[in-house]
Structure 1
Amino acid sequence: MKKNRIALYIDLLFCLVIMPLAIMLLPVDRWIAHNTAFLLTLVAYVYLLYFVYRCACLPKLFMQRKYLRIALLLVVLAAVTELLTYFPMPAERITADTQLMAARMNMRRQTIWFFFLVVTGFSLAIELTFELFRQILSRQEVEAEKDKAELALYKAQINPHFLFNTLNTLYALVLSGSDKTESAFVKFSGILRYMYSQSGAELIPAARELEYVRQYVDLQRLRLNHHTMVNLVVEAVYAQALVPPMILITFVENAFKYGTSSETDCTILIRIHVDEFCLWLETENAVMRRREDGACGIGIANCRKRLELLYPGRYTLQTGETDGTYRVRLEIKIKDE
């Protein structure tokens, strides 16, 4: 719609401003008095030529490699232009002075071909600009669809990853015969409802994401004994800020996966701050266990890719281990100040 409006403005600019100014360069007064038919024919030809070019869209035909059609169109237009140069002179302008007649015919020929070149150049420049604009938009649409598909893939990978770890937690509670099992299943059902309700959403209020993290932390606390202390600090200055769903859970989940112990005292620290412009997450946990293969899990790798697609150049993510403590620092600029 916007492109069509721009095209309309350009057509109006050509028809109402550019061509009238160009025609005023001609001896209009003298031609109206002595050669009205030719002047009207020339004006009609110029406008017709412009709209033929606009409808034909030569750059698009060139991109489609329809060279024969382009050549045929240019030959026809050049032939019509040449024929126009033989438009009969009015009887009162015919003189016995052959040099004067040749000068008038030469002026007419130069005028006609001048307008032909002007209209051709202007039309091709406009169509080339629009074709480049169309190519850019098409490429952006393809990239947007690709990014959307990648986001869906990463999001789909996060959900099974989270469910697998949570089911392991419930399984451990069931085996131990804990009296917390019923409460754990209630919280787990709430988490599932959240995952189902936000499955198609790109952005959600931060309050819902923070509640989801709280439920997950509460669920993990149910399976932990007194050796693991969990500190969750949430500062929701602007709880209605829009954030991507399940953008924090991977880091919180990893803290519980690798930072808990049933025999050794340890602490998990989780800090989350949300205001109108920024989302900030910090986790710290003692490294109580490691992956057997020593490699990084898919969770953090997926989150990095997801953040890069959603917030390119607008986030910082630092992860690493120092003196047996694993730390995560994530800052997302969700809105320009």
Structure 2
Amino acid sequence: MNNLQRACLHALLWALILILFVYISSRGGNLASSVVIFFYFGLINIAVFYINYLYILPSYLNSRRYLGCAVSILLLIASSAVVKYAVASFFREIVLVRGPNRDYYVSFWEYVVIALITGAFFVFISTALKFAGDWFQNEKVRKNLENEKLTAELAFLKSQINPHFLFNSLNNIYSLAYQRSEKTPAAILKLSEIMRYMLQDSNEPTVPLEREMRYLQNYIELQKLRFKDGAFVNFSYSGVNEDMQIIPLILIAFVENCFKHGIVTEEASPLDIKLQVQASKMTFEVRNKKNLQNKDVLGGIGLSNVKRRLELAYAGRYELTIENGRLIYYCKLILHL
């Protein structure tokens, strides 16, 4: 809403309020008295409201001149009382006459006290509205800054994944090439497919869950090429449809950790990777046999990275369970998509 629209809305609201009060008070038949009391004096009160709201508070509070602000408000209230009494004197027989026989005139000080209270009320309303508006505006700015910070941090965390993964994969391919393995061309092809996904598709805030699953499948196939005697991996997913979205590269760290620190060459103890989706609840489970010769089971930046990304993107909407047993490493991630 721009300034012109906001001004028109304020004018319309005040006009409706004044018309409503004039209509209600004139039902007894004294329209002239109602117009004077609610229209003329209403305009003065509205002026008090906006002088404080648009000029005094922004001018003095923003520069932290609190004493000047207080003095200006008091002068505004006093001035409005004097102006009201001047208008009341002009309509003396309508405004200042009191009593059942209309034979009593309100004194100057008696009227001014009432006018001061009324002026102070409108100053209070405008001040409360100003502080409330500033608070909501500051909250909006704070949330925008917080979102920008989170977005920047997520981008930084995701940027760590690409070189981390590339470094490990190139090491694997180098080993194959050094051994003159026939698997080297297939490994390079798989890596190119994976890098295409990481460099293009993963730039979006979220990606289809189905595409993330294909990425994991390619990664697993690439890792299998490392092992001369084969790797035993059970990978399955169900309940995934094209409408489901997830932040990219959030699951790879769990799988990478299994290949890096686990044993996948024993048919009796395969690496189990399973994903199930029911309604909007996704359950991702990974279980593998530990390599007891590897002391740094949780090493590297992978898992610490993904934990931070989960907290930033799914705060309050995820559950992460890690069981680091003596022989078995088990991880379970529940996401509410």
> TM-score when scaled to structure 1?
0.82
Amino acid at match of 2:121: V
Structure 1 stretch 241-250 or stretch 269-278: which is displaced more?
A: 269-278
**CA 311–179 in structure 1, closer or farther in 2 if over 3 Å, else same:** same
Distance 1:61 1:238 in 2: 58
The equivalent of 2:193 in structure 1 is: 190
Query: What secondary structure is seen at the aligned counterpart in 2 of 1:279?
Result: strand
The equivalent of 2:73 in structure 1 is: 74
Please report how far the alpha carbon of residue 36 of structure 1 lies from its aligned counterpart in structure 2 after TM superposition.
Answer: 7.6
Quick check: 1:130 aligned with 2:129?
no
**CA 206–216 in structure 1, closer or farther in 2 if over 3 Å, else same:** same
Mapping 1:1-337, distance limit 5 Å = 1=1, 12-17=12-17, 20-21=20-21, 32=32, 41-56=40-55, 58=57, 61-62=60-61, 64-67=63-66, 69-87=68-86, 89-90=89-90, 93=93, 103-106=106-109, 108-226=111-229, 228-260=231-263, 266-288=269-291, 291-292=294-295, 296-334=299-337
Distance 2:139 2:304 in 1: 30
Amino acid at match of 2:73: L
Distance 2:208 2:267 in 1: 38
1:64-107 CA-partner distances (Å, limit 9, x unpaired):
51325523531441342242254173598599xxxx67635455
Contact 1:272/1:282 (CA < 8 Å) preserved in 2? yes
Distance 1:124 1:180 in 2: 75
Query: What secondary structure is seen at the aligned counterpart in 2 of 1:280?
Result: strand
Structure 1 stretch 12-21 or stretch 195-204: which is displaced more?
A: 12-21
Please report how far the alpha carbon of residue 185 of structure 1 lies from its aligned counterpart in structure 2 after TM superposition.
Answer: 0.4
Contact 1:60/1:131 (CA < 8 Å) preserved in 2? no
Distance 1:319 1:143 in 2: 29
Please report how far the alpha carbon of residue 25 of structure 1 lies from its aligned counterpart in structure 2 after TM superposition.
Answer: 6.8
Please report how far the alpha carbon of residue 256 of structure 1 lies from its aligned counterpart in structure 2 after TM superposition.
Answer: 0.9
Contact 1:15/1:47 (CA < 8 Å) preserved in 2? no
1:187-231 CA-partner distances (Å, limit 9, x unpaired):
100111101113421101111111110110111111223363111
Contact 2:77/2:120 (CA < 8 Å) preserved in 1? no
Q: CA RMSD in A?
A: 3.7
Structure 1 stretch 123-132 or stretch 78-87: which is displaced more?
A: 78-87
Distance 1:180 1:91 in 2: 102
Please report how far the alpha carbon of residue 182 of structure 1 lies from its aligned counterpart in structure 2 after TM superposition.
Answer: 0.4
Distance 1:5 1:278 in 2: 44
Contact 1:207/1:236 (CA < 8 Å) preserved in 2? no
**CA 191–39 in structure 1, closer or farther in 2 if over 3 Å, else same:** closer
Query: What secondary structure is seen at the aligned counterpart in 1 of 2:147?
Result: helix
Please report how far the alpha carbon of residue 30 of structure 1 lies from its aligned counterpart in structure 2 after TM superposition.
Answer: 6.3
> TM-score when scaled to structure 2?
0.82
Distance 2:65 2:192 in 1: 61
Amino acid at match of 1:71: A
Please report how far the alpha carbon of residue 41 of structure 1 lies from its aligned counterpart in structure 2 after TM superposition.
Answer: 4.2
**CA 118–40 in structure 1, closer or farther in 2 if over 3 Å, else same:** same
Please report how far the alpha carbon of residue 13 of structure 1 lies from its aligned counterpart in structure 2 after TM superposition.
Answer: 4.2
Amino acid at match of 1:200: N
Structure 1 stretch 203-212 or stretch 136-145: which is displaced more?
A: 136-145
Distance 2:42 2:92 in 1: 22
Amino acid at match of 1:16: L
Structure 1 stretch 290-299 or stretch 266-275: which is displaced more?
A: 290-299
**CA 29–211 in structure 1, closer or farther in 2 if over 3 Å, else same:** same
**CA 72–91 in structure 1, closer or farther in 2 if over 3 Å, else same:** closer
Amino acid at match of 1:328: C
Amino acid at match of 2:16: L
Please report how far the alpha carbon of residue 175 of structure 1 lies from its aligned counterpart in structure 2 after TM superposition.
Answer: 1.1
Please report how far the alpha carbon of residue 108 of structure 1 lies from its aligned counterpart in structure 2 after TM superposition.
Answer: 3.5
Contact 2:322/2:332 (CA < 8 Å) preserved in 1? yes
Please report how far the alpha carbon of residue 321 of structure 1 lies from its aligned counterpart in structure 2 after TM superposition.
Answer: 2.3
Distance 1:267 1:218 in 2: 15
**CA 308–2 in structure 1, closer or farther in 2 if over 3 Å, else same:** farther
Q: Structure 2: which 5+ residue stretches go unaligned?
A: 98-102
Amino acid at match of 1:140: K
